[in-house]
Amino acid sequence: MKKTVTTLADGRELLYYDSRDDVVREAADTRPLDAVSTASEIRRDPLLGDSVAIASHRQGRIYHPPADECPLCPSRDGRQSEIPEADYDVAVFENRFPSLAGDSGRCEVVCFTSDHDASFADLTEEQAGLVLDAWTDRTAALAQLPQVKQVFCFENRGAEIGVTLGHPHGQIYGYPFVTPRTELMLRSMAAHHAKTGGNLFDDVVAREEADGSRIVLAAEHWIAFVPYAAHWPYEVHLHPRRRVADLRELDKAARTEFPQVYLELLRRFDRIFGPGEPPTPYISAWHQAPFGVPGREDFGLHLELFTIRRTSGKLKFLAGSESGMSVFINDVPPETAAQRLREVASQ
């Protein structure tokens, strides 16, 4: 992998990740951009104890532009975008409309490919491996920022999820606090260790493998399953068999096998609802250990992949119980979801 670091016209950082070492990235961003002005603020909820990012400047972000005005496509034919080069493998840049900025953290955009009409599932294993390298490199870089306490790499796919740009891309958030979901995991991890002396992540994976009914895919270095208490209609957790705290600690064998396993999972997701159905909307989220917390080394890196589509033409909405009380109601038994995801394996 070759990494090239440059800046955009307004001073934001832009990074190219290329699979070939001989690629030269010299195109300049000549757009007449004003300096980025953000109003990001973190406010803590005294009742729940969690934090909310207030970011009113995001009201002006680009919303469903036509394909020929996509800001994530390469700059071609006289049209300039966020990426000055006429082509690229993987590109990462600071978000112009960040939810978190300055002392409040950092937000980055990850463009998986220059092909506007592709999806992550369309990537080759080499391309997917390069994205993994970019996620890892950015995790390492953001870990060095004093204001960042946790790094979150994720992808939103599909208009139903709320995606406003159709180009295949994801995001990376550097939070200035430990997120509420991770705090719950850390609390459960500590309680499990106090009760059993074991590691919660290891024991969850071992239980799922022993049961077998919710296993979706079992490879040499990765295992994917629908969790026993899945929140979403189709939800898969992907764990490396050798537990690590974050992406930086994956060994070569796990890194080599990841593209094959992950691409297979994404392609199965697109087959869940049968032929002729539109692409399955999903959220793909890496859960990494936060920095500087007790027991960090006992956290288990894993990826959670889920869709809000519960059946053909119907979405799972977060209504009263879910939104009001955080109690999920799942219409699809996890064992049924796992069976379906096994049925649609690539031939």
Which residues are catalytic, by number? 169
Amino acid letter for position 290 = P
Helix (H) or strand (E) holding 287: strand 282-287
Integer Cα distance of 132 and 151 in angstroms: 14
38: three-class secondary structure by DSSP? coil
Alpha helices in the chain (DSSP H): 125-142, 180-196, 200-211, 252-269, 325, 334-343
Q: Any idea what DSSP says for residue 308?
A: S
Integer Cα distance of 172 and 316 in angstroms: 25
> Which string of DSSP letters, residue by residue, matches 163-221?
-S--SSEEEEEEESS--HHHHHHHHHHHHHHHHHSS-HHHHHHHHHHHH-TTEEEE-SS
Q: Provide the phi-psi class of 292: left if phi over 0, else alpha when psi is between -120 and 50, else beta.
A: left
Integer Cα distance of 46 and 7 in angstroms: 39
User: How many helices (H) and strands (E) are present in the chain, helices listed first?
Assistant: 6, 15
- Per the CB < 8 A criterion, the answer to whether 74 and 85 are in contact is yes
